[in-house]
A and B are shown apart, each in its own frame.
Chain A
Amino acid sequence: MTLAILEHTGLNIQTPEHPPMGGACGDEGTLHPGETPSPVIHTENLNLWFGEAHILQNICMAIKRNRVTALIGPSGCGKSTLLRCFNRMNDLIDHTKITGEVRYDQENIYAPATDVVLLRKKIGMVFQKPNPFPKTVYENVAYGPRVHGIREKRELDRIVEKSLKDAALWEEVRDRLYQSAMGLSGGQQQRLCIARTLAVGPDVILMDEPCSALDPIATAKIENLIEGLKQRYTVVIVTHNMQQAARVSDDTGFMYLGKLVEFGPTKQIFEHPEEVLTENYITGRFG
């Protein structure tokens, strides 16, 4: 239908008929003994262009269930863009071209038949800058459940309370649920956005530098939160903060100039990186 096409004008999706086996993605060797080999999100030869600029080049990675995966790398290397590929947020940008595959639960999310709405419901996202809606705290959290058809007040109340508690925000906002969310502090707004994401009941949570605008205390709160989220969700987090990556993540991917240079367990990346580039970046000997 023409209507459906409008939803992502300007996007040009090319799915190769026969995804190249092996090739650049050759080694599935990122699996290590004793780990559950169940990737939730799996990219294969993912390439992305904004207009002429080749932003992501041959990205192959496997993000595993119930783990925290960190993406690190210098500014502009494509971390956010990669993250936004996972829930097709890049569809919103004109003149985007994507080749390769991103598989979520074995399904290629760039296949024409994909239900983007459902995908985004399963794969939630927290943005770099807190972006609460100009509504009340309550309405912000209830937004997701509401658009997914929940109407009963009691059920909504329950979800809102639970999500706010999970986001470690409940105590601070319980008395101002019906005031504008714009009046919260930056850290509170960010946790509100996390609560908003949790309220939908996602499977995977993508976080794009969630702490970049926050002070150490708020950062610590969110880091604790991520630690807890791991039990029930899969988390992918972009961060500029090496310590943060080391503290919260189980796996780490290092990106440089649009390529995924190295990907593996955090411990290994930080202690025995295979690539010189990675080591230089982590130790701060860069450029």
Chain B
Amino acid sequence: MRMAISGIQTRMATPALRRIREQVIASVWFICAIFAIIAVCFILGYLLLNGYPTFLQINLWDFLFGQQWNPTGSSPEYGIFPLIIGTLLVMAGAMAIAVPLGIASAIFMSELAGPRLRTVIKPAIELLAGIPSVVYGFFGLVVLTNWIRISFDIPTGETWLAGSVLLAIMALPTIISVSEDAINAVPREYKEGSLATGATGWQTISRVIIPSALSGITAAVILGIGRAIGETMAVLMVTGNAAVIPHPIWNIVSPIRTLTATLGIETGEVPIGSLHYHALFGIAVILLLITLAINLSATIILGRIRSAQTGGAVKKQRLADETRVKIRHLLSYCLIGMVLLLVAIAAGILPCLILLIGGAAAALIWKRISPKMMQKIAYTLLFAAVGTVIVVLAILLIDIIVKGLPVLSWEFISGYPSNLGREGGIFPAIIGTIYLVVGAILIALPLGIGATIYLSEYTREGWVTKTIRTGVDLLNGTPSIVFGLFGFAFLVIFIGFGVSLLTGWIVLALMILPTIIRTSEEALKSIPHAMREGSLALGASKWQTIRKVVLPAAVPGIITGTILSIGRAAGETAPIMFTAVVFTSRFLPDSIFEPVMALPYYLYILSTSVPGAQQNAYGTALVLLITVTLFYGAAVLIRIRYQKSSRW
């Protein structure tokens, strides 16, 4: 008896040692978690510090609401109002397309598609997420703008519409996959409970499943918005970049310029220390503030929904049900009134009346449709939405594959570029991209997982976690071009790393850190508490429990996060174009202090600045696609294997 016990004891460290070890481990994770905050504060501080001198010369009002942005003219003007409007319009247009399509596709995938169909569509959507923004930009430039130019019969297709369509496609995967996760997380019991009352499938979806998943869907939309607002390259390449406010305001075929595009175009050419330089930092601050506002409102909404779902019993409702219904009615009447008023102002009384009567009729008919009919209508719409997404993806892929494939050859892959990229190969760009991605992941992954472990295992929800989470959210909402600007001004110039691989790693790592933290946290959260308790109850220490039980179970989720990060890191152009890359180089880098070539940047320059290089541009786009797909494929395979071996 004694023997048996001591047999176990010999393998265990003494209690004191164990305690110390546990504490050291805990503090390591704490430092990881704090890092995000420090980074955010530092970036923000640095931007403010550099943006501040602008306002010594231009007052804030003129900066924000000035109608002219012309910093290089003979009498420079620094009014960013058109840029702000441009940013908001492109984003709004993109969301108008992406939100319905995205949510519909998510519903379709999680509720309607059979297992076999799902295994086809899900990777397709993930692929959509993996396609680098510069490839979208390229596609937009050579296909979409052309199409818009012809079908609207306008001189150039580089318009707001083109930007919105591209951004919508780019925001779709985020919206779809996050909403899908939210819908899948709705307990199966709800669905069964609803169906057992004789509700139709659609009633179950619309009345139980979606409301239960609402917080997740909201998060999805907000993440999508974040993606759209922060996007630089694709918009820069297709919106025409004229700093004007569309006239009239809903003229979607007007060219437009966003805040991000301005940074993307001008950062590389601005004289350092000039008013223009500081004004760019001013723009970055404004951009950050916009994303901050979005994130903040998102957090508030999410918090409300969550407390309504879970804490309803604890928190007394202040208003009686009756009153709340009345208020809701009042609000909706106000809203209808406002819309009508707007229409009346904009288009006159007649359309307004038509709208009113049409709306009333529609509402009446709507109420009379039988649940079955409703289900048919709804499912047809869902089908149509998914169909649209698939068709768009197919067009994009087919175009690039068909036109890129003839260019691909061994010489193209293994050769060095010549004649400004019109001829020759892209070997250094491929290698450079791989260097960049691997380095960035190696920095971000340990940090991110450490932070996640701290957040979800070592603390209770409180102000510490809230602060850290806000930091991560901020970092996540930070547009990639802002990282580029920061990296350029701080790391390249101030610290003196120069345009180098090292700077690229740091910037990219900062950029993907939040993705890793968020997705890993979701993965850890989804592990039932009972599993941890089961392990702790056997006398395992906290760290043992995490390492042996929690982390293995969370691996698929963490890998998913890594997949998304790889996609971003490999395809990003904005953050590296001032910090890590050169257009062409005849050599591979010898040290981490040398710049590299990278596929996305190479494609960007080829397609925008080198006339007559379209063939090689297609080839590069295809290679970039294949590279990203390979990364993804490997990761997806790993995930599938893990899912098979660890089910609970």
Which residue of A118, A121, A135, A182 contacts B310 across the interface (Cβ within 8 Å)? A182
A132 nearest CB neighbor, chain B only:
B193
A133 touches B313 (CB 8 A): no
A88 nearest CB neighbor, chain B only:
B195
Digit string of B544-587 for contact with A (CB within 8 Å is 1, else 0)?
Answer: 00000000000000000000000000000000000000000000
Confirm or deny: B414 has a beta carbon within 8 angstroms of a beta carbon on chain A: no
Confirm or deny: A117 has a beta carbon within 8 angstroms of a beta carbon on chain B: yes
CB proximity to B under 8 Å, residues A119-135: 119-122, 124-125, 127, 129, 131-135
Q: Complex: how many Å from CA A200 to CA B203?
A: 15
- Given A87-B196, A147-B203, A117 contacting B371 (CB threshold 8 A): yes
A133 touches B114 (CB 8 A): no
CB proximity to B under 8 Å, residues A170-187: 176-180, 182-184
Confirm or deny: A268 has a beta carbon within 8 angstroms of a beta carbon on chain B: no
Confirm or deny: A94 has a beta carbon within 8 angstroms of a beta carbon on chain B: yes
Which residue of B309, B371, B380 contacts A147 across the interface (Cβ within 8 Å)? B371
B201 touches A134 (CB 8 A): no
Among A3, A125, A146, chain B packs the most CB atoms within 10 A around the CB of: A3
B321 touches A133 (CB 8 A): no
Q: Complex: how many Å from CA A101 to CA B575?
A: 65
Residues of B within 8 A of A122 (CB): 198
Which residue of B113, B189, B367, B379 contacts A3 across the interface (Cβ within 8 Å)? B379
B194 touches A133 (CB 8 A): yes
User: Which of A102-110, A136-144, A218-226 lines the interface with chain B?
Assistant: A136-144
Which residue of A133, A147, A151, A184 contacts B198 across the interface (Cβ within 8 Å)? A147
Q: Complex: how many Å from CA A195 to CA B310?
A: 21
A124 touches B194 (CB 8 A): no
B114 touches A10 (CB 8 A): yes
Which residue of B113, B191, B212, B313 contacts A180 across the interface (Cβ within 8 Å)? B313
Which residue of B112, B113, B211 contacts A135 across the interface (Cβ within 8 Å)? B211
Residues of A within 8 A of B112 (CB): 6
How many chain B residues touch A (CB < 8 A): the figure is 42
Q: Complex: how many Å from CA A131 to CA B314?
A: 19
B115 nearest CB neighbor, chain A only:
A94
Which residue of A92, A136, A146 contacts B312 across the interface (Cβ within 8 Å)? A136
Residues of A within 8 A of B314 (CB): 183
Give A132 Cβ to nearest chain B Cβ, in Å: 8
A6 nearest CB neighbor, chain B only:
B112
Residues of A within 8 A of B310 (CB): 134, 180, 182
CB proximity to A under 8 Å, residues B202-228: 203, 207-208, 211-212
Give B380 Cβ to nearest chain A Cβ, in Å: 7
A131 touches B187 (CB 8 A): yes
A125 touches B196 (CB 8 A): yes
A131 touches B190 (CB 8 A): yes
What is the number of contacts between chain A and chain B, taking CB atoms within 8 Å? 121
A120 touches B312 (CB 8 A): no
B198 touches A118 (CB 8 A): yes
Confirm or deny: A9 has a beta carbon within 8 angstroms of a beta carbon on chain B: yes
Give A129 Cβ to nearest chain B Cβ, in Å: 6
Confirm or deny: A7 has a beta carbon within 8 angstroms of a beta carbon on chain B: yes
Q: Complex: how many Å from CA A62 to CA B195?
A: 24
Give B105 Cβ to nearest chain A Cβ, in Å: 15
Q: Complex: how many Å from CA A193 to CA B195?
A: 13
Digit string of B105-123 for contact with A (CB within 8 Å is 1, else 0)?
Answer: 0000000111100000000
A143 touches B192 (CB 8 A): no
Bin chain A's interface residue count.
35 or more
A182 touches B193 (CB 8 A): no
Give A97 Cβ to nearest chain B Cβ, in Å: 15
Confirm or deny: A47 has a beta carbon within 8 angstroms of a beta carbon on chain B: no
Give B332 Cβ to nearest chain A Cβ, in Å: 16
Give A181 Cβ to nearest chain B Cβ, in Å: 8
Residues of B within 8 A of A120 (CB): 195-199
- Given A120-B198, A200-B197, A92 contacting B321 (CB threshold 8 A): no
CB proximity to B under 8 Å, residues A89-104: 89, 92, 94
Confirm or deny: B320 has a beta carbon within 8 angstroms of a beta carbon on chain A: yes
Confirm or deny: A112 has a beta carbon within 8 angstroms of a beta carbon on chain B: no
CB proximity to B under 8 Å, residues A189-248: 193, 196-197, 199-200
Q: Complex: how many Å from CA A120 to CA B191?
A: 13
CB proximity to B under 8 Å, residues A1-38: 1, 3, 6-7, 9-10
B309 touches A182 (CB 8 A): yes
Give B310 Cβ to nearest chain A Cβ, in Å: 6
Q: Complex: how many Å from CA A118 to CA B200?
A: 9
Give A219 Cβ to nearest chain B Cβ, in Å: 20
A147 touches B193 (CB 8 A): no
Can you list 26 residue pairs at the A/B interface with Cβ under 8 Å?
Answer: A6-B112, A10-B115, A87-B196, A89-B195, A89-B196, A92-B195, A117-B199, A127-B189, A127-B196, A129-B189, A131-B187, A131-B193, A133-B208, A144-B199, A147-B200, A147-B203, A177-B321, A179-B313, A179-B316, A180-B309, A182-B312, A182-B313, A196-B193, A199-B197, A200-B197, A200-B198
Point out residues on A near B: beta carbons under 8 Å: 1, 3, 6-7, 9-10, 87, 89, 92, 94, 117-122, 124-125, 127, 129, 131-136, 138, 143-144, 146-149, 151, 176-180, 182-184, 193, 196-197, 199-200
